Amino acid sequence: MSLTLYYHPLASFCHKVLIALYENGVAFDARIIDLGAEQDRAELASMWPFCKFPVLRDSARNRDVPESSVIIEYLDRFFPGKSPLLPVDFDAALQVRLWDRIFDNYVHAPMQDIVMDHIRGAKADMGGARSSIQTAYCLLDKQLASSLWAAGANFSLADCAAAPALFYAHTLEPFPEQLGYLRAYFDRLMARPSVQRVLAEARPYFPLYPFHAAIPARFLS
């Protein structure tokens, strides 16, 4: 098979790419990487020196593609499905990329900072990270008042980014009750077959997540 994804089933940025793969039925081999295993780390570092997953290997083109957003754009270009995840129209594509960055930088990254602080036992003041997540929630709720998906009428790269970012972030910072558009959007995301498949594959690993007790019961069975 041409494509191999180097990833871990619990990792949120890996979820983002898996959703894109499942959305368009792209065939690939799965290679789970254990960052605690020296051999696995060496294998991953040989493709991407920062030793971070996901990385997509395209053996047919002899290319290793890192970074979740870049991987999804690569898939859209060389392995397109019935539903493009990046619009052809420039303005529409720009909006998709903007929301992809919002989710990665202002939800995903601060969420990971909070989790890593907990793992390290550093007990730093994470008020800034939590404030970033809450600001993104409010911005997204406003956007969704007139939009079915994060960047428009069609499911896109932005929604691939949204699903894991919001899934983990809401275990740390619950959605405010008054943000009804955001809450409805989250339910639409979680009902998406590609997202359900990713969560089902992650479920056996949920106990490894430090805040697994905050994962709602509906995602645990």
Print pLDDT tens along the chain (221 aa). Answer: 699 999 999 999 999 999 999 999 999 999 999 999 999 999 999 999 999 999 999 999 999 999 999 999 999 999 998 889 999 999 999 999 999 999 999 999 999 999 988 888 877 778 899 999 999 999 999 999 999 999 999 999 999 999 999 999 999 999 999 999 999 999 999 999 999 999 999 999 999 999 999 999 999 98
Do the domain assignments include residue 140? yes
Between the alpha carbon of residue 136 and those of residues 13, 53, 120, 182, the distances in Å are 18, 25, 26, 10
Residue 12 contacts residue 112 (beta carbons within 8 Å):
yes
127-155: pLDDT as tens digits: 899 999 999 999 999 999 999 999 999 99
| pLDDT computed for residue 83 by the predictor | 83
Do the domain assignments include residue 76? no
Q: Which residue has the tokens 């499942």?
A: 22
| pLDDT computed for residue 82 by the predictor | 85
Q: Which of 126, 121, 28, 20 is nearest to 67 (CA)?
A: 20
The vertex-125 CA angle with 122 and 131, nearest 5°, equals: 130
Do the domain assignments include residue 68? no
Count of alpha carbons within 13 angstroms of residue 126, beta-carbon side: 20
| pLDDT computed for residue 1 by the predictor | 64
Do the domain assignments include residue 170? yes
Do the domain assignments include residue 84? no
| DSSP-assigned letters across all residues of 53-82 | S-EEEETTTTEEEESHHHHHHHHHHHS--S
Which amino acid, one-letter code, is at 3?
L
| DSSP-assigned letters across all residues of 90-124 | HHHHHHHHHHHHHHIIIIIHHHHHHHHHHHHT---
Q: Which of 94, 60, 66, 95 is nearest to 79 (CA)?
A: 60
The tokens for 88 are 């052809």
The tokens for 67 are 């970074």
Q: What domain range is 157 assigned to?
A: 90-192
Do the domain assignments include residue 82? no
CA 92 to chain centre: 20
Do the domain assignments include residue 57? no
Do the domain assignments include residue 49? no
CATH number of the structural domain spanning residue 109:
1.20.1050.10
HEC secondary structure over 198-215: HHHHHHHHHHHCCCHHHC
Helix (H) or strand (E) holding 29: strand 29-32
Number of domains present in the structure of the chain? 1
